[in-house]
Structures are given as structure tokens and as C-alpha cells.
Structure 1
Amino acid sequence: METFDKAPKFFAAQALIRQTSPKHVITMGKIAEPFVQALIGCLLNADGKQETDKQYVSLPANMTLLDFKDFTFNACLYRVRRLQLQSQPTDTQTEDRLNYIQTLINVDSTKTVYALGALIKFLEQTWHNMRPSGDDALIFLHIKQVALDDHVYIDNTTFNALNVFNLMRHDSAFKHGGLSSCREGVSLFKLLSLHCVSQMGFLKLREILMSPIKNMNELAKRYEFMDFIVDPRHTPIATAINAALHKITNVYKIFGKIKHSQGNAGHWRALYGTIYALLQVNEEIKPFLTECSIFREYHEMMSENLYRVEATINTTLDLKVGLNRDRPAVKEHIDDELDEAKSTYNTIQNRLVAAARIVVNHLPPQLEECTVSFVPDMGHIISVRKWSPKCTPEELLPYGCYFLFESSSIFHYKTALCQELDKQLGDLPLVVQDHENRIIQRVAAFVIEQNVFMLNPLEQLAYMDALISMAKVGKERNYVRPLINEHNMLEIKDGRHPLAEINNESYVPNHYMSGGLHRPMKIITGPNASGKSMFLKQVALLVYMAHVGSYLPAAAANISMVHSIHSRLHANESAALNMSAFTIDLIQMGNALYSAKPSSLVVMDEFGRGTTGNVTKALLLSALRHFLHGDNICPHVVVSTHLTLEKEYLESPLVHFQKMSHMRHPETNAITFLYKIQDGETSSCTFEMAEVLEPSILQRAKEIYASLSGDKPELTPEEEEQFFLDVKCPPFDD
């Protein structure tokens, strides 16, 4: 299973452990790492109630930690590639066995390869202690993908094909360390994040899109909140929340700074602004707690401790002014000793001005001014700007000045008056600074101790930010809230592709009905470029959007919770993968065949275009018959093909043949695509699409096709030779 999990709670990992109840847990890392600590707490506390502040120093008996250095990626990949499964077809060659394994797992995922490779090695090393009896050999039966109960399984290939994310790297990104030059291209994430205000909301939206769910209660909460926000009656509260979102920041880094006395005034201002924004939102939403579940959850997260944190910072620290602009100052009447030291310090400026006047009176006439200042570890010093281009610091030695150093055309000296100031004032500036630092550090310790009362509502506010952005985009683009059902029924009326319609005002919407009274298997035919692939992606993307709580670009929608979404959409060949386009097709198809459930959605676009027509047809028919082997368990299947499928192999009330409509010009026979889905079948119109070729070549192709189809007898060698002599090809360019 691959999903996005977040520190410090790692709820997804904990939910997975509770769901699967593993006999043994294996992971990589050190015991002090937050992820390992969360796993230990979950294993030791079966009731789910963990001691959040407890630091575990030993592993439970059913947990093992592995060291990264003993499990390199190449070593793990080698073990995965040589894995022998009892479920694999017999008498398979090495290449076929590797392709079979890739239908079960995603070998392009580094984490998946690490996890499986480490597990194989661990079992090989420890099986003699774990086996039930002494004669039991280690045998791997099968690999099964596991998804969280509340999560929809979507593989990386489908994510990429649907353009949920589209991270684009600059050609010179390697110069900047890889990801620093990346940007988000045209994607669903970029569209839905248009109105995210805070960086935390931006990250929260990415987390939401990476984890589609089938928890109807949670989805209902999201839609309830979004409906509340877009209601014109609630514009004032939406505006107040938006203003508060501009003030929040990610406090995790700030905690690290102030904990180690590295926090400056800017860090403290950002921290206080975040806390104040949290409290402000809590006050604003109080009149609406009965109308919105997310507001109630946020209000329940608020604690009096957070109010005390705000009051402590506000009454103790002056975040606007300070003795040093790089750190805050402590306000008056907090510490009497500090107030007295500050009072004395405030008189220093007058003393230093008077001292500078005395020094100038004892210097040569050409020097009309000087500065007396305090430097830590050096005490009070006199600073004199060069009075001529050729002057030297030794010229002032007869006047009782002891030269220290030169910087930026300024000579710095020590005099008897400076030594007297050192005796009278001492290191008072450092005393004040150290005293303030001790108070600030006590405040920092108190704030960090209460961090849990801040982090939970902050996460919830970031959650609101993400949902507000989704709601605003939906309202601007005329999206609708889908109905959610439990009857394995997908109904989309006048659905539109959210990305394709952005730059296409004349985008043609289409219906999609599956399950319930509608047949779940759709076989769509039509000419190339008639809109088949776009329709398939549109169906998959709209079903996916309903599972993240987004409004849908449609006139109406009624969506059931699906188990998984599988696709055969992209098959980009790559020398690095050492796989042909047809091999990638087979792997993607195998993933759907092995993993699809009755409530899954499977979309297949032009399966097998990389091999011969009859072989493709046989494989496609066999796969479709696999989905149809039981009347009540066929998943939602949408297939586009240019092949003519024999209906006798697909005789089932679950199959629905549809086509992408088009029309022909009555005189020229030219094709005009209407991009509208209709019942029925149609040909691929290959010859009509090939009219860009030389007419004689096209005519000969029609004759050969008729011959191969059995409509005409085969040509004699003489006729074949005469054809090539008659073909009129355009001349080559000079």
C-alpha cells in the first residue's frame, strides 16, 4: 500500500496496523525517530490510546528495526526481481515472471521496492525461528495489495494518466539539486489550489488529493462545510476565516528555533500571529457551531491552555521593539531586576554622548567628532573616521589613544576614559541581554510544552483552507455537489473534463450511467480523435473527485463509493524500463484483473495497440469475459477500442455498446466529430481519416484490405507489379 502519512501522529500507519493486526512489524530507521515511536505506541496500546509524550527506549517483541545501510535499493530490487511465487504461471521465462510481478506491485516506487526487498531478506534470515515445524521451507504464495478500509486504491499510473498532479522539472534542474526548479503544470491539483491562502492549506490539499477516501461520513462533512462557505449569507464569516488564514504559518520550524534560543523577533511575531488567528477563528465560528461539523470539531480542539499561551506571549514580550532588532524585548513590570538594569542602561546613551565630547576636546583640531560605543568582550571604545587619505592610526597615540583595529575607514581606540566607563557601567548591555534571554527561554519552554493545543486546531484550519479553495473553484466553474449512494451506482449527467474545458468554451458534455438499472460494462467505438480517450479520462477523474470531496463539473451526479480505480490509459515506451508498449499494456491490464472488486472502476483505452489485431482482440475479449463471469460482481468497466468485437463472446445483459457520434458531409463525405456519446457501434473510419495520403496509395490500400477481408480474390503477381508501376508518388524535394 502507498499513501501519504504525516508526522507526528502517522494516523494512516496506525490505521493500517489496527486493520491488518500484523503478527510482526518490520520497518527501517532508528528507535528515536517519530515514525518508529508512533508504531511502537500503536503496538503497545491496542486500544488506540497512546501516551503522546512518552519516549520509548525499547522495541516490543513483535517489532524489528532494520538498518538502511544493510538494505540498499539495488539489493532490495534484486530480491524482488528474483522472487518466486507459487501463484505465477508455470514454465514461465525470467522476463515473463518479472512482468507478472509488476502486475502485483509497482516496482517504480522506491518505497515499495525497499519494503518488499527488506521483507524478503528478513524472512530468509529468520524463517528457521518462525516456521511452524522444522521441515517447513520458506515459500512465497502470492503478493496481495492492501488498501486502508477508508481509502480508495489508485496506482501511480492512474494518478499520472488523470493528471491529478503534474510536476514539471526544468531541463537544468540538476544544477539546483533536483526539485528546487520544479513547478506544477496543468493538473487537477493546480486547478483546485487556486484559492489556497496559506502554505499549510496548500500542503493539506495535496494530502487530500493523494488520499481519496470512501468514508461517506467524512465526505459528507466536507460537502457540508463547502456548501456553508459558498452560501452568500455566510460571506462575512468566510471573509473572516480568509483574513485569519493570511496570518498563520507553519510553526514546526519556529518551535525548533525558539527551543534552541535561535528565534528572532520575526519568529515570535509569526508564532503569536498564528495563535491569535486560531483564537480569532474560534470566536468567529461560535454562532455557527450547529450548522457545520467541521466548525464543531475545530471548537472542540480549542483549549484554555491556548488562551494562556497567547496571554503569556502578549504580556511578556514586546515584539515590535527591542534592544536588538534580531530578538524580542521583555516588557516592563515583568521582572524588577531587569527593569532596574534597563533603567540604568537607558542613561548610557547620555553618558556616551558626554564622553565623546570630552574625548574630542583632547584630540587634534582637525578631528571635530568621534563616537563612543560598547562592544561585547571589548568594552567601551572610541571610533574616529579617517581625517585624511594618508593618515595613520599611530598619529593619535600621543593623545592617550591605544589603537585596536580598523574597519571601513574607521580607526577604533581605547582610552583612559573608556576604561573608566568600563568600571562604572561594566557589561551592563550583556547583563540586560542575558537576563532577557533567560525570560524568553522560559516563555519558549512553556509554549513548546503546550504545542499540542496549537497543532491540532492549526491542522484543522489548514483543512478549512483547502476545502475553501475547492469550494470557490467549484462555484466559479459551475460545478455541482454529487449525491453519494451505497448501491454501487455511478450516474453522471452532462459531465465535463475539468482540465479540458478550461481552454475550450465549446466543450461537449456527456452522460455516464453504470450500475443499478444501467449496464456496468461500456464498450465504446469511434474514429480516432473522436473523443473516446477524453471521455474515459473524464469518467475516471469525476469519480475520483467525488472521493476527495470536490464538487463535480456536471449538471448532476450520483456517485457510489468505489473500492479502487484502475486504468489502461498510458503506455509510454522507455529504454530505461526495458519494456515495450504492449508489455506495459499487459502489466496495467493484469493489475486491474488481479485487484478489481465489484465496486471498482476500470477504464481501458485502446488496449493492445502495440501488437497484431487478432491477438489484441483475443486478449481483450478474454479480459472482458473475466469481468463478466458473474452477473452480480462485474465492476464498472469502460473500454474504448477501434476493433470490431464479436458479440457472441460478450453475450451478457451487463454489456452496453456505445459510440462517439460523428456526421458525414453529403457531398465530400468528410467527417465532422460531434464528441457526443450515443448508443450503438461504429467503425474506426480509418480510410476516411487517411485521406491525407496520395489518392492512388489510399485506393490501393482499400483494395488490399478488401482482399485480406475476403471480399475480393487475391491479386496475381502481375497485377501486384502493375499496381506499383501505376502509383503516382509526389516527387522528392531537391
Structure 2
Amino acid sequence: MSEATNLQEPESTVRALSINEVEEDEGNREIFLSVFVQQGQIGLSYYDSCDYTLHYMPDTMDNSDLHLLDRVIQELSPNFFITSAKQEQSLLEFIEKLGLEISKQRLLSAHIPSLPPTITESEKIPYLSSCIPLDSVLMMRSVGGLLKCLERRTVGLDMEDSSMGVPILQKDVVYIDKDTYSALQIFKSELHPSIFKLQLGEKEGLSLYDFLFLICFRQWFHRPTRDLNILKKRQEVIRFFTSPRNFADLNTLQSSLRNIKNISTLLHKMSLANPKVVVWQSLYKTVYNALCIRDTIRAMPQSIQLFSEISQNFTDDLFYIATYISKVVDFEGSVAENRFTVRPNVDPVIDEKKRRMMGLPDFLTDVARAELEKLDPRFSTCSIIYIPLIGFLLSVPRLPTMLDKQSFEIEGLDFMFLSKDQLHYRSARTKELDSMLGDLHCDTLGLFFLSSASVLQRSHCLYKVMSLCAELDCLIALAQASLDHGYCSPTLTSNHRLALIESRHPLLELCTPVFVSNTYISSETEGKVKVITGPNSSGKSIYLKQVGLIVFMALIGSDVPAKEAEIGLVDGIFSRIHSSLNHSTGDSLVLVDEFGKGTNTVDGLALLTASLNNWMRRGPQCPHLLMSTCFHSLIQLGLISNSPLLDLLTLETAIEGEELVFLYQVKNGICQSSCAANIATLAGISDDLVKRGVEV
């Protein structure tokens, strides 16, 4: 390190202290979502109590099913949902109060710490217009309603400029509904196994998110993107760290990233009247490790965009903050005294008072003896004590005759208070001590506020540090997963082709010693409609999920479990027939598993046939369709029309004696038999029942 080498490395005890203290508020997170919908458009905003920020989405077109709103609710899981209700006159009057101008006034009157301190009221509108599109009427109404709700709930509203410009959803976000997330096991909730934690809600089960939990933002999972610039930016970082020659740098950065704490939470605690010592420790440790990351990154190729951003945004303000804290805060003394204490040689006045305080006990004993000689002979003992913010006091035991306040009065002494049968007075000598020694605690507190203000003035750089460190942490861990599991870097294109060569299921291969890889290729010339037939338990559903998960992983920038992969960026992944028929395009991926099996054979077959023919008639706008079915008659009876888009697949099986063996290998062809008797035997059904079933 260049500059950071002059800083004192944080002790390991700092981390142990900070884990529980700094992140204790994470479980108290509340999200307030405010929504307005009108004439097919939606405007919304939300407030996050975890980092005290307001987020917004400008007016955006939504369909009649409000898929966009559904997606936002999925992603945010808001605690409070705020909207208008056109039912009663009283509610109509309330809605009128949420008009655009009132909403603007509420925003203008809100406390926004990031506003320049010298800004005037007339300058607020142009300033906020540069941050928020004030001409988005619906969005502004939603902000007004949100601020009104927060005002009534007396929520401390601190809005940071750095987050206000970030929309909730971007136009290149790939559409995936909640059912598809669940079907592909991208997210999977289950009851907590501990009976003592059942009241805390569900836990994440075996899912892609659980597998990559330490790797990705939850936001990345909710916002898979088809923006090639974003994906290639992520890929180049992963490619760098999967190179063996960069393993040392990988380990160095991982070690530093483990010590980066939630800066939003730290800065909020810093702004309070008297934050705990652990907050200062955690902030210093975070900034120190951010400097280590900066110095490591600056030795790497700056042609990689993320590395260049880190080098530029990790400014000398970080070095100033780290140096300032290390020179001012006495961590050992602060832990011992459980309050903010100052290092020697920072403030001569404080140092002198500390020096005097060190010899104070013996001195105060002498003063107490002198005071006792002046007291009423009824008092056999007394002491001189020091109380921060109050000063020096003479303390004497309460006599049996002292029953009320009037009897507490002693000539020459000013009564202060009674505590645990000890009377406390201010004497001429204690006043002299106050004048001579002063109040060390007040002086220290003043320096504390000065230090906090100095750090908070440079807080703007810390928010950028947190964002870039989080992104770097995600990509490093994705690179680590790629190395650990033998993933490949997919080729991302804007054409209509998906090609996964010798691909594997990213979750199932973790649970089985041997996994059979399979290839999937879909394009207008190689068949975009794949219909898979085969016996139950032959691997049809696994193959569908495997394709869906690999495409999803590519859309968050991850490497994928395959020998080779080419991903034509899709605009949505669908698993529900209704959604896929109405909203899929030629760039969508549709996964249909055993459609129609829940109804009678004729109806199920008819619906399946109609859906397939509908998709194939679209021609170039036919989505990438991967469908499994047990309706073998669909093909045998020729119910689906011939099309160059159609490709028939099955999974290989073999018979050894009377036993059915699954080979789990996908091949072209049609399944001729469902092998129901063999499947029943494998399921544990008695031989007599199986034999009778064959006879029938």
C-alpha cells in the first residue's frame, strides 16, 4: 500500500465487537411503497427505513395485468402499501390533498441532509429537478402520499442524493414472474427447522439464491438484465479473477471485502448524539480496508471498467477519514471506559486535564479531609466525587434526623440532590475545583461532535465506496463459484439463438456424485420449439429447469455450468401458460412442464395442442419453447402441425431384465411407451397391483 501503510491496522477484536452491534438494525427494516395508476401508466416511490433513502420510478406504461407493479412488490416485499381509494367522499377529498403541487411542497419541505447548506428556498426546485423528474405527475403524487404517511408515522426521513436518482426497474430488466422464480428454484422458502425460530418466518431452502447467497445482491436476482454493456462489464471482472495468475489478488481482495460494513447504517449511527465505540471501530475498519482495496485495484489493468471506477472513486477523502480517526480516537481507552475517549497529543487542554485527573484520587482525599474539618461534628465521614457534566461535589451520609428537604440544608453548602442515602452538595472548594480542572467530559464531547462532523462532511465518497465494494464482492464470489464448479463464460449475443453444450443443472450436480450433461440448441433454423416426451422420473423436468437456470445465470453476468454456451439475450422467462401466451415474444424463453396433466385427457390434450400451434404460427416471433409432456398421442396422432420450428426430443432409457434404467441422456425422437408398470415398481407399488394394472 502507498498511503494506507501509515495507518494503524485495525485489531481483530474490532470485528468481534462490530458484528452484533452495527448490524443489529437489519431485522427492523421497513419499506413503505406508494403507488398511483392512471390510464395505463404507473408511478411509484418507496422509502427504505434501513438506509433512510427514498427511491422512485418515473411514470411508466404498464399492462392491464399490472405485471410491472407485481414485479416491484415481488422485489421489495413492502411492509406498507400506500395508494388512493375511490370509494367514499372522504377518501376523494383525501386524494385531492395528494395533488401534484402539494406533493412538490411536501418534498421541498422534507429534511434532505445532502442539500448544500447555503441553498435558498427558491433554489430548491431547480436542484431537486436535477435529481427527480418533477414532471412525472403520478410519481410525484406517490411521493407526496409517501411523505404524508411517513410524517404521520413520525419516521425519521433522511434522503440521500446518491440513491434518489436510481429507478426501481430499468427498461432492460428481464421479466420473470414469482411462479417462475419458484419453479426454477431461484428462490425457495421453507419453514425454519428450529422450533424456536418459527416465529421469525421462513428460511431460504435449496435454491440458486441460497447457493449463491454470499455472492450476489438479491437485487441482481430480481433484476436479470439483457443490457450487454452491464453484462460484459461483469464478465470481464469474472474472467480476470478466474485466471490463475490473479489468484493472489483475488485472495487479498476477499480478505479486505470481509471487513467492509454497511456504511449507510454506520453513518446514520454517527449522526446520532452519542454513537457506541463499536461504530467508530467499524467505520475505521471499513475505510482502512477500502484503502487496501483501492491500492490493490490500482495495480490491476485499468482497462477493466470496474477497476477504473474504483481507482477514481476511492478518493483521498478515504485516507483523510482513516487518518483522522486513527489520530483522534483512543480505541483501547474507549472500550475500557465504554465511551468516546481521545488519544494523547490531540488537544493540549484535554491532555492537561487528563494528567490532572490521573493524580486526582489522592488529591481529592486530601480535599475531603479538609472539608470534613469544616463540617458539622455529626458527620464522621465525607468524600469528594466527580460526575461528568455536573462537576465536583461534596458527598456526605444522610443523618437519621434529615427527614425532608428543609432538613438537608447545611450552612455554607448548596444542596444538589439525594442519592442512595448520600447527600450531595456544592461547596466553595468544589466550585474552585470546577474552575481549576474544568469538565473533561464536556471537552471530550465537544471534540467528538467536531470529529463526527468532519467525517460526515466527506460521507458522499463513502456511499460510492459501499456500492462499488458490493459489486466487486459479488463478482469476485461469482468468479470463485466458477472456479470451484468448473463453469464456462457464456458468449452473449443479441441474436435469437440459445446454445448450451454439455450443460449441467447447477443445483442437482451438488447433490449427486455423477451428473449426465446434456446439450440444448434453439434457433429459427435449429428448432425453437422443443417437445420432450419420456417416462415419469426420466429427467424431463430437470432438463427444463437446467436450461432455465443457465439462461438466468447468464442474465446476471455469471459463468454457467456448461462446456460452451451462447446466450441470445432473452426478454423474459415464462413458466405459466397464460403469461407466456399473452406476453412472450421471439426473444422469450418459455418452459412448460407437463401442461394439462391436472385435467382429463381430452381437455388437456386439446389445450396443449392449441397452445403449441398458436406459438408455431407466430413464425419469427415464436419464443424459445421447451415443453415436456406425457401426452404421447399428441405426436402419435399428428395433432400438431409440421413446422421447421418443431423439434421432438426424448430421454434415453434401457431395460435390464425386467428393470427400467434411466440414462438421463436427451436425444432426438419420440417416446413409444410410458413404461407405467416399471415406474410403478420403482415407486414401491406391490407386484400384485402392478400385474393387475398390466392386465387391465
* TM-score for both structures, normalised by structure 2: 0.71
Larger displacement relative to structure 2 (306-315 or 489-498): 306-315
SS at match of 1:320: helix
Give the conservation status (yes or no) of the 8 Å contact 1:487–1:516: no
| Cα deviation, residue 379, structure 1 | 3.6
In 2, distance between residues paired with 1:56 and 1:478?
45
Equivalence for 1:311 = 323
Q: Report the equivalent of 1:677.
A: 666
Q: Which stretch has the larger CA shift, 489-498 or 60-69? A: 60-69
Q: Post-superposition shift, 1:17?
A: 9.0
User: 1:316 Cα shift?
Assistant: 3.4
Kept in 1, the 8 Å contact 2:586–2:623? The answer is: yes
How big is the shift at 1:186? Answer: 1.4
Whether the 8 Å CA contact 1:495–1:555 is kept in 2: the answer is: yes
Contact 1:338 1:432 in 2 (8 A): yes
Verify the 8 A CA contact 2:528 2:645 in the aligned structure 1.
Answer: yes
Question: Is there any run of 5+ residues in structure 2 with no aligned partner, and where?
Answer: 1-41, 63-80, 84-97, 116-124, 150-167, 404-409
Q: Pick from 149, 153, 173: which aligns with 2:171?
A: 149
Quote the residue 1:546 is aligned against.
554
Note if 1:294 corresponds to 2:306: yes
CA separation of 1:323 and 1:680: change in aligned 2, threshold 3 A: closer
Task: Call closer, same or farther: CA 1:419–1:230 in 2, change over 3 Å.
Answer: farther
| Residue matched to 1:226 | 238
1:191 correspondence with 2:211: yes
1:275-294 paired onto structure 2 within 5 Å: 275-294=287-306
Identity across matched positions, percent:
25
> 1:438: Cα distance to partner?
2.1
- Give 1:83-482 correspondences, 5 Å limit: 148-170=170-192, 178=199, 180=200, 182-194=202-214, 205-322=217-334, 325-354=337-366, 373-376=385-388, 377=390, 379-380=392-393, 412=422, 419=427, 421-426=429-434, 431-482=439-490
Paired letter, 1:684:
S
What one-letter code is carried by the residue in structure 2 that aligns with 1:13?
Answer: M
Counterpart position of 1:537: 545
Q: SS of 1:222's equivalent? A: helix
Tell me the secondary structure at the aligned position of residue 221 of structure 2. Answer: helix
Q: Which amino acid aligns with 1:64?
A: R
Deviation of 1:559 after TM superposition, in Å, equals 1.1
Deviation (angstroms), 1:472: 0.8
Equivalent pair of 1:193/1:466 in contact (CA under 8 Å): no
Asked if the contact 1:258/1:441 (under 8 Å) is kept, the reply is no
Post-superposition shift, 1:301? 1.6
- Listed one character per residue, the Cα deviations across residues 448-496 of structure 1 (whole Å, up to 9, x for unaligned) are 2321111112210111111111211221111111111222111111111
* Partner of residue 621 from structure 1, selected from 601, 609, 613: 609
The 2-side partners of 1:151 and 1:58 are apart by 24
Q: Taking structure 1 as reference, are residues 177 and 259 closer, same or farther at Cα in structure 2, changes over 3 Å only?
A: farther
| Secondary structure, counterpart of 2:448 in structure 1 | helix
SS state of the match for residue 663, structure 1?
Answer: strand
User: What is the deviation of 1:355?
Assistant: 5.0
Where do 1:36-115 residues align within 5 Å?
Answer: 51=127, 63-65=140-142, 67=145
Cα 1:344–1:640, aligned 2, differ >3 Å: closer, same or farther?
same
Whether the 8 Å CA contact 1:320–1:328 is kept in 2: the answer is no
Aligned to 2:536: 528
* Structure 1: distance between partners of 2:667 and 2:271: 65
Q: Distance in 2 between matches of 1:633 and 1:523?
A: 18
Aligned pairs for 1:709-728 (under 5 A) are: none
SS at match of 1:522: strand
- The answer as to whether partners of 1:375 and 1:381 remain within 8 angstroms in 2 is no
Structure with max Cα Rg: 1
The C-alpha deviation readout for 1:360-410, integer Å capped at 9, x for no partner, is 9999xxxx99975423448445699xxxxxxx986999xx99998776xxx
> Could you list the per-position Cα deviations for residues 137-189 of structure 1 after superposition, in whole angstroms to 9, with x for gaps in the alignment?
xxxxxxxxx9743211100111111111223333888x8795x3543221212
State the SS of the aligned residue for 1:637: strand
**Correspondences of 1:26-45 after superposition (within 5 Å):** none
Deviation at 1:276, TM superposition (A): 1.9
Q: 1:653: which partner in 2? A: 644
Q: Give the direction of change, closer, same or farther, for the CA distance of 1:468–1:695 in structure 2 (3 Å limit).
A: closer
Distance change (3 Å), C-alpha of 1:60 and 1:701: closer
TM-score normalised by length of structure 1: 0.67
Secondary structure, in 3 states, of the residue corresponding to 2:508?
A: coil
Partner of residue 13 from structure 1, selected from 49, 53, 57: 57
Q: Does 1:690 align with 2:680?
A: yes
In the aligned structure 2, how far is the partner of 1:166 from the partner of 1:351? 68
**Is the contact made by 1:272 and 1:310 (CA closer than 8 Å) also made in structure 2?**
yes
Kindly indicate whether residue 513 of structure 2 is the aligned counterpart of residue 505 of structure 1. yes
Quote the Cα distance in structure 2 between the aligned partners of 1:254 and 1:429: 34
Letter in 1 for 2:173: H
Alpha-carbon offset, residue 643 of structure 1? 0.4
Contact 2:57 2:169 in 1 (8 A): no
RMSD of the alignment, in Å? Answer: 4.4
Is the CA contact (8 Å cut-off) linking 1:3 and 1:211 kept in structure 2? no
Distance change in 2, residues 1:445/1:59 (3 Å) = farther
Q: Give the SS at the match of 2:217.
A: helix
Contact kept? 2:46, 2:55, Cα under 8 Å: no
